[in-house]
Amino acid sequence: MNVLVVGKGGREHTLAWALRRSPLVENMYAAPGNPGIAALGTCVSIAPEDADGIARFARDNGVDLVVVGPDGALEAGVVDAVESLGIRAFGPTRAAAEIEWSKVFSKEMMREEGIPTAAFAVFSELEPARAYVNELGAPIVVKADGLAAGKGVLVCHSVEEAMRALDDVMTDRLFGDAGQNVVIEAFMEGEEASVFAITDGEGVMTLVPSQDHKPIYEGDTGPNTGGMGAYAPAPLIDDSTLRDIRHRIIEPAVRGMKKRGRPFRGVLYCGLMMTSEGPMVVEFNSRFGDPEAQVILPLMEDDFAELAYGISEGRLPSRPLSWKRKAATCVVVASGGYPGSYEDGKEIHGLEALDAMDDVIAFHAGTAMQDGRPVTHGGRVLGVTALADDLRGSIDRAYEAVDRIRFDNRYFRGDIGEKGLRRIV
Ligand code: GLY
C-alpha cells in the first residue's frame, strides 16, 4: 500500500515511523514532512491545510491511505477532499473534527450527552463575559472558541487576569477569529492525563494512557507549550479508571457525534483532569497528541498501517490491541526561548549516536537541512523517545540519549515522567 502522511512535526514523524514498520507499506510520502520523515519516504512541498492539493497528489501518485496528523488539516477538510476522490483517509471529516476546532460545539455536546466536564458559559460579547467572570470568581479558565495553535486556553488565577484575558481574546483578537466566541469555565483541580481511543464511528478501543508535560519549566511551572515530554503507560489511570473513562466519556462522545450526523472516525483524544470527583474532560481533540504519539505508537505491537486502513474503511480490529510490556518516555529538546522567541539554524550534533542506541528514537519536530547538515527549525526541535522494562529505566535511557544531542541554546525539562514515578513508589 502507498501511504501519505500529512503534517511536519514530531507526531507526524512518529506516524511515519509506525507506518514504515508495516510490511504492507510500499511507498511513503509526506506533505510536507521533515528531515526525519525524509529518511523514511518522499517529502513533497504541500501545506497540510491545502486539502485539494493533498487530494490531487494522492490521486496522481496512487496513494491508498492518507494519514492526517494536525488539527489544522482536519479543520481544512483534508479527509473530506481525499475521500471525495475515493481514497481512504485515517482521521475525521471536517464536521466530525469540530469536536476540536470549536470549543463551543464540543462543550455543548458534552453538556447534552452528560459527559463530565467543568461548568461553562459561552459569550460573543465582552460585557456579559466580564459579568460571568465576576460571578464565578477565580481561578477561572477562558478559552478561545477556535483553533489557536494550542495557546487559546488561558488559566487565570485572579479576576483581573481573567479580565485581561477577555480583552486579549475578544477585543485585541490575540488569536484572530478563534476569539469571536469565548468559553468561560470553572477551574478544575487535579492532575491532567491524556487518553486516546481509536474509533470507527461506533466501536472504540482505548490506547495506553499517557501524560503530557505542557508547561515549559520543571515542576509544571511557567507558560504552556505544545508539550515538553510525555510518558506511557501512566499509572494514575489504572484499568478500572480506564474502563470508567471509556463508559462515561468516550462512548457517549462517539455516540453523540454519530447522533449529530457526524460520525467520528480516527483518534479521539480526551484531555482529562483527574479530579476528586473522578475524570472530567478538559477538551476533546480530533487527532493524536504531540508528544503523546511519540510514546504510544512505539509501544504498540499491532501493525499500525493495517489498523489505520481498517478504521478508514469503518472497521475496528476484531481482537484487542496488543502492547509491549515496556514503558516509554519522550523528552522534547527545544530551542532556548521557546515558547517565546528563539533563533533557528543551530547545527544539531549527536543524532548518529542515537541511531546506534537500542530502544531509542529521535523524532524530528523542528529541524531542517542546511548544506547537508541538520539544524534547528522550530521551538520543539526533537522528541527523544526511549523504551525500557519500566518507567524509571525509560526515563534514564531517554536522558542518556538527550545528553548526546547538542546544539546552541538547547533546552529541555529534566523531570519528564517524574509524576508517574511518584505514583509507583
Ligand atoms: N499534547 C498536547 C496536544 O497534542 O495538543
pLDDT at 174: 85
Is 154 strand, coil or helix?
Answer: strand
pLDDT at 179: 78
Q: Are residues 288 and 374 in the same domain?
A: no
Q: Is the pLDDT confidence value at 301 over 80? A: yes
Going by pLDDT thresholds of 50, 70 and 90, the confidence category of residue 194 is: very high
Give 184's strand partners: 121, 142
Q: Which residue has the cell 477538510?
A: 77
Tell me if 150 CB under 6 Å of ligand 1: yes
Q: Is residue 292 part of a domain?
A: yes
Distance 228 CA to ligand 1 centre (A): 10
Q: Is residue 263 part of a domain?
A: yes
Whether 230 and 197 have beta carbons less than 8 Å apart is answered as: no
Q: Are residues 136 and 211 in the same domain?
A: no
Tell me if 292 CB under 6 Å of ligand 1: yes
pLDDT at 175: 86
Which mutation among 143, 224, 285 tests ligand 1's pocket best, with the greatest number of atoms within 8 A of CB? Answer: 285
Number of alpha helices (DSSP H) and beta strands (DSSP E) in the chain: 16, 23
Reported pTM: 0.96
CATH number of 218's domain? 3.30.470.20
Q: Are residues 130 and 200 in the same domain?
A: no
Q: Is residue 321 part of a domain?
A: no
Task: Please name which of 373, 365, 291, 379 lies closest in space to residue 34, comparing C-alpha atoms.
Answer: 365
Q: Is the pLDDT confidence value at 270 over 70? A: yes
pLDDT at 151: 75
pLDDT at 120: 94
Q: What's the structural domain count of the chain?
A: 4
Q: Is residue 46 part of a domain?
A: yes
Tell me if 227 CB under 6 Å of ligand 1: yes
Could you say which of 134, 165, 186 is where a domain stops? 186
pLDDT at 147: 84
Q: Can you tell me the distance from the alpha carbon of 262 to that of 92, in angstroms, rounded to the nearest whole number?
A: 9
Q: Is residue 154 part of a domain?
A: yes
Q: Is residue 153 part of a domain?
A: yes
Q: What is the DSSP letter of 14?
A: H
Q: Are residues 306 and 197 in the same domain?
A: yes
Q: Are residues 181 and 203 in the same domain?
A: no
Q: Are residues 149 and 213 in the same domain?
A: no
Distance 227 CA to ligand 1 centre (A): 6
Query: Which ligand 1 atom sits nearest the alpha carbon of residue 226?
Result: 2
Tally Cβ neighbours within 10 Å of residue 14: 32
Taking residues 176-196, report their average pLDDT: 92
Q: Can you tell me the distance from the alpha carbon of 147 to that of 284, in angstroms, rounded to the nearest whole number?
A: 12
Cα-based angle 380, 382, 385 (whole degrees, multiple of 5): 125
Q: Are residues 361 and 278 in the same domain?
A: no
First to last CA, the chain: 45
Tell me if 212 CB under 6 Å of ligand 1: yes
Q: Are residues 216 and 302 in the same domain?
A: yes
Residue-wise pLDDT for 12-58, tens only, equals 999 999 999 999 999 999 999 999 999 999 999 999 999 999 999 99
Percent of the chain with pLDDT over 90: 93
CATH number of 38's domain? 3.40.50.20
How would you class 196 by CB atoms within 10 Å of its CB: exposed for 0-12, middle for 13-18, buried for 19 or more?
Answer: buried
Q: Can you tell me the distance from the alpha carbon of 21 to that of 401, in angstroms, rounded to the nearest whole number?
A: 22
Residue-wise pLDDT for 135-173, tens only, equals 999 999 999 888 877 678 889 999 999 999 999 989 888
CATH number of 409's domain? 3.90.600.10
Could you say which of 70, 90, 110 is where a domain stops? 90
Q: Is residue 322 part of a domain?
A: no
**What range defines the domain where residue 362 resides?**
327-421
β-strand pairing of 191-199 with 182-186: unpaired
Q: Is residue 111 part of a domain?
A: no
